[in-house]
Amino acid sequence: MGESDMVGMDGRVTGTVGPGLVGEVIVRIRGGAEHFLAYPAPGTGSGRLAVGTVVTVVEYLPPRTVYVMAAYDH
């Protein structure tokens, strides 16, 4: 799976994502669901993203790291 395949995919936070934290998200890919280490996307001004938040992948660093931002503004 290449970088362009991951960018834009939606996932759900399974471990709090935030500044100074290594969080975790689950993304549905390859006919299943996989967990990735997650960081807040630079320049998004994101605070913490709580467990259960729907996120969008904005950058993928193989093999298992993504940068994410909240998919919806509340």
By CB atoms closer than 10 A (0-12, 13-18, 19+), residue 13 is buried
Confidence of residue 4 (pLDDT cuts 50, 70, 90): low
Give the residue-averaged pLDDT of 14-35.
Answer: 94
35-72 pLDDT, tens per residue? 999 999 987 766 899 999 999 999 999 999 999 999 98
Per-residue pLDDT, 2: 62
| pLDDT at 18 exceeding the cut of 70 | yes
Per-residue pLDDT, 34: 96
pTM, two decimals, is 0.88
How would DSSP label each residue in 6-60?
A: HTT-EEEEEE-B-TT--EEEEEEETTEEEEEEEEEPTTS----B-TT-EEEEEEE
Amino acid identity at 9: M
